[in-house]
Structures are given as C-alpha cells and as structure tokens.
Amino acid sequence: MRSFECAVVAALLILGVPAAAQTETSLPIAKGFWTNSGTDCGVATNGYIYDGTRWGSVYFYGPNASQGPVGEFQTITATGAAKDGFIAMQLDGVDGAGYFHVRKGFGRTATLRTGAPSPDGIDVLDDELFQCDFAALSPKMKQAVQRFAPSVAVTAR
C-alpha cells in the first residue's frame, strides 16, 4: 500500500464486530481478497477484503514486510450510488469528509476510490484492484486472511 493509502486506512478503519453478527451488504464486487493490480497474488503483503458485511485491509509492514499481520475492518452500514458508476460505502464509525467508493471492472478487477481530507481539500486516489483466489496467496497471507476474515479463507470459489 502506498503511504497515502496506509494513512487513510489507519485513520478511518478500526477492528469491527464479528461478521456473523452483521447483516450482509451488497457491493458490485465479489467477496474475497483484493490487491493492487500488477501485484502477484503469491507475494502480496497487503490487500483489501470484502466479506459481505465488512470492508478492510490486511497487511504486513516493516522491512521486507516482516512485521504483522494487521487487520483493520469496519462494518459497511449502507451503500449507495456515487458519481462515475461507483458505489459508496458508509462505514460504521467513520464520519467526516473521507470516503471509500468501489466500482466493478472487467472480470476480476475493480477500482477503489478513496477520498481523504487534506489542507487543499479532498485528495482523491483511484487504485486498480485484482481479486486473488485464496489458494494463490502466500502461506503467511493465507494465515492472516484466516485470522481476520475466515469467511473468505476458502480454497474453492
């Protein structure tokens, strides 16, 4: 994750309640682990997870991604249409000007649009994401996904 994204995620997301206690939401993307396009799923050290009720990130940090994992999730309390075909996610406990929007791409791709307050207004960043099969993740990322989002930690789609 780029430092801007890490700052946005760290500032906006906290650990959520267990997924079993939540109502499923609808996003235009499949449940699972998503990482930046161009990143090989087998070496991904960070990514986003949508489990049907929560949105968040799982990542390793430090020299050579040797520390972690960290899981930061928030319950999706509402979704709605946003500009340019994006779907806005209202995250529990997240107020203010920042936002997360997602738009389905072709096949197993999506665009994540994040907006974060800055001294100049709202900084907007679009990231192209790719959905990874759980089986394609590294052993350490598989363990992290199993720990933080067991409902998406499956080997078959």
pLDDT digits 0-9 by tens, 53-73: 999 999 999 999 999 999 999
Counting as low any pLDDT under 70, the low residues of the chain are: 1-24, 95, 155-157
* pTM for the structure as a whole: 0.81
How far is Cα of residue 123 from the mean position of the Cα atoms in its chain?
18
What's the chain's Rg over C-alpha atoms? 15
3-state helix, strand and coil shares in percent for the chain, rounded to the nearest 5 = 25, 40, 35
What residues have CB less than 8 Å from 152, skipping those under 6 apart? 31, 32, 33, 49, 50, 51, 134, 145
What residues have CB less than 8 Å from 24, skipping those under 6 apart? 52, 53
Task: Extract the tokens encoding 96.
Answer: 């203010």
Span 121-130, pLDDT tens digits: 889 999 999 9
Task: Extract the tokens encoding 14.
Answer: 């906290």
Q: Where are the domains of the chain?
A: 3-152
Residue at token pair 């791709």: 109
